[in-house]
Amino acid sequence: MCQLFALTSHQPVSPDFSLRGFFQRGGKTGDHSDGWGLALFRDGQLELQTHISAAHSCRRATELLQTKPRATTVVAHIRKATVGDVSPQNSHPFTRTLWGETWAFAHNGDLKDFHPGTSVDYLPKGQTDSELAFCHIFSRLASTFETKPPVHVLAEFLYSLSAEISRHGTFNYLLSNGTLLIAHCSTELYWAHRSFPFGKVELLDLDMSIDLGEFNSEDESMFVVATKPLTRGEAWCPMGRGELRVFEGGRMVHVLPPTPVCNRQPIDWNSAWASHHVVIS
Amino acid sequence: MCQLFALTSHQPVSPDFSLRGFFQRGGKTGDHSDGWGLALFRDGQLELQTHISAAHSCRRATELLQTKPRATTVVAHIRKATVGDVSPQNSHPFTRTLWGETWAFAHNGDLKDFHPGTSVDYLPKGQTDSELAFCHIFSRLASTFETKPPVHVLAEFLYSLSAEISRHGTFNYLLSNGTLLIAHCSTELYWAHRSFPFGKVELLDLDMSIDLGEFNSEDESMFVVATKPLTRGEAWCPMGRGELRVFEGGRMVHVLPPTPVCNRQPIDWNSAWASHHVVIS
């Protein structure tokens, strides 16, 4: 199995803090050490890199994070190979062109007895069930929509098709063209909203904390998505089985099936503490 | 391994909704099917039951939930046996008396090369590393404090001792005397705060939702704790490695080590949706 990470932001931001924690799971706090990949979208351009080394100890990962690369949309993946060799053509994110745009796709899960047809425009290059699912989805999208449909139509289509594919196994995935970020959950995927007032958060996988308020302005809004929460100090909302969420420019714009808004009302912590003689130390 | 669940509330409430989801993991959505146990504290009295059947299909579990038992503190456990037989004496929660009070203890994890001494007052009855750890902790508490110390002293002591024990493996646990609920995380444990305005939440493990606002008054405050989040529609905050939290009567009263307050600021969802042409369906 693998793990997924994504970020979508109103303005370009560096995902290096979150990625530092995420990459620890690529060989240190997790055994997803068979490769890592990162798709960075900025100004409509995709920068993609994939490696077959363990993220946590990979020199290129370290160097990349030190440059604090800025992007409005990020899709990252750390791999634990189950289907397909450890090789570049089996590394996520996979990319394909559709409706004149480049899309990146990363998957967490295993699909069994899954042998769908794909069009000649979307043939897999590697051996993974993940790339095959991506090609199948894009074959179906291309044959159904000549041009990019409105977001809610795209979301409904992907929601139904993903439910079909999920019958073959675990199918958590991230898909993005740099503007839209689509997250589908079949078993496990979390999202967190980072917005004003930003607070201090700590990585769960590394002894490192950051005050997001120092780095973000009042009008910044971003969402992070991950297979498992990355931080303490902020709230993570689990997605349900079969749920699909669409984000656009740091906002959440569509949810299927309809779901209650994640209940994140403010807590009057001072009053909560003060009502007891023991305060937070 | 096992899974843990706890609830602490300002007033007696029925945990049946959350437990319905939790018990699904005892044999249906999870393989923790080697037993289940439930400690219900109400008016200072403990009602304990443990069973060696799978929670999700156990008639007694179903009947219990139908009675909607009310309690101010709840500690529940579903077991996947790793150390010790599937037998009543190895079923969590374990209970012991200390400082004239009855305490319940439930553990998720495995401790390796763990052979601590225990006093004659706290001898294990079963074979689990869990009960041994509980007896070790209580032996140390009883020899250190003649009477129950203030909460922050108790928290500091348990925090240090739990760090020592965690060197032997995974040591997530819940401990309660009905007033205090203590949660220690060595690898994975989440908490969620339920308070006014209550919202609609959906179970992740069962097709069931509830509007908590219909069942709870404005002054109600409760926390739920679980190995993995149980619902969508509310925010879950992951605890860090080594973290210990103390709850009392539906409030969080102590956290070690000091941590940023979980950032749960309200989102102006209407504005977020309205800025796009697609609205939530």
Beta bridge partners of B98: B101
**Lookup: tokens for B215:** 């069942």
Long-range contacts of B270-274 (CB under 8 A, 24+ apart): B272/A221, B272/A251, B272/A252, B273/A253
Contact A233 B260 (CB under 8 A): yes
The pLDDT of residue B213 is 83
What residues of B are in contact with residue A248 (Cβ under 8 Å)? Answer: 276
The pLDDT of residue A203 is 94
- Structural domains in chain A, CATH included, are 3-93+176-271 (3.60.20.10)
Q: Give the up-direction half-sphere exposure of residue A71: CA atoms within 13 A in the CB hemisphere.
A: 31
Mutation target among B182, B220, B243, B263 for the A interface, most CBs of A within 10 A: B263
Amino acid identity at A59: R
**Is the backbone of residue A250 left (phi > 0), alpha (psi -120 to 50) or beta?**
left
The pLDDT of residue A131 is 96
Contact B251 A152 (CB under 8 A): no
pLDDT confidence band for A279 (50 / 70 / 90): very low
Does residue B44 have a pLDDT over 70?
Answer: yes
The pLDDT of residue A259 is 66
Closest chain A residue to the Cα of B153, Cα to Cα = A278
Does residue A264 have a pLDDT over 50?
Answer: no
pLDDT > 70: what percent of chain A?
92
CB contact at 8 A, A152 and A158: no
DSSP state of B26: B
Dihedral sign, Cα of residue A206, residue A209, residue A213, residue A216? negative
Does residue A272 have a pLDDT over 60?
Answer: no
Determine the Cα–Cα distance for residues B66 and B68; give it in Å rounded to an integer.
5
Q: A267-281, B195-209, B238-252 — which one is most confidently predicted on average?
A: B238-252
Does residue A275 have a pLDDT over 50?
Answer: no
Q: Which of B166, B181, B83, B264 is nearest to A201 (CA)?
A: B264
Strands (E) located in chain B: 3-13, 36-42, 45-51, 71-78, 94-98, 101-108, 172-176, 180-184, 190-195, 200-203, 209-211, 221-226, 231-232, 237-238, 244-248, 251-256
The pLDDT of residue B262 is 57
Give the mean model confidence (pLDDT) for residues A200-207: 92
Give the mean model confidence (pLDDT) for residues B223-229: 97
- Preceding amide of B88 cis, omega within 30: no
The minimum CA-CA distance between B110 and chain A, rounded to whole Å, is 17
The pLDDT of residue B199 is 82
Residue in the structure block whose two tokens are 């946590």: A56
The pLDDT of residue A270 is 33
Does residue B279 have a pLDDT over 90?
Answer: no
pLDDT confidence band for B247 (50 / 70 / 90): very high
Amino acid identity at B217: S
Q: Which of B138, B104, B106, B109 is nearest to B121 (CA)?
A: B138
- B88 Cβ under 8 Å from any chain A Cβ: no
Q: Which of A112, A108, A59 is nearest to A81 (CA)?
A: A108
pLDDT in tens, A92-129: 999 999 999 999 999 999 999 999 989 999 999 999 99
Q: Give the up-direction half-sphere exposure of residue B108: CA atoms within 13 A in the CB hemisphere.
A: 27
The pLDDT of residue A216 is 82
Q: Is B135 a catalytic site residue?
A: no
pLDDT in tens, B145-181: 999 999 999 999 999 999 999 999 999 999 999 999 9
The pLDDT of residue A262 is 57
Q: H helices within A176-279, ranges in order?
A: 269-274
pLDDT in tens, B66-82: 999 999 999 999 998 87
Q: Is A126 helix (H, G, I), strand (E, B) or coil?
A: coil
Q: How many CB pairs under 8 A join A and B?
A: 160
pLDDT confidence band for B96 (50 / 70 / 90): very high
Residue in the structure block whose two tokens are 């496990």: A188
pLDDT in tens, A223-254: 999 999 999 988 999 999 999 999 999 999 99
**Lookup: tokens for A176:** 């993005």
Does residue B270 have a pLDDT over 60?
Answer: no
- B244 Cβ under 8 Å from any chain A Cβ: no
Q: H helices within B145-259, ranges in order?
A: 151-166
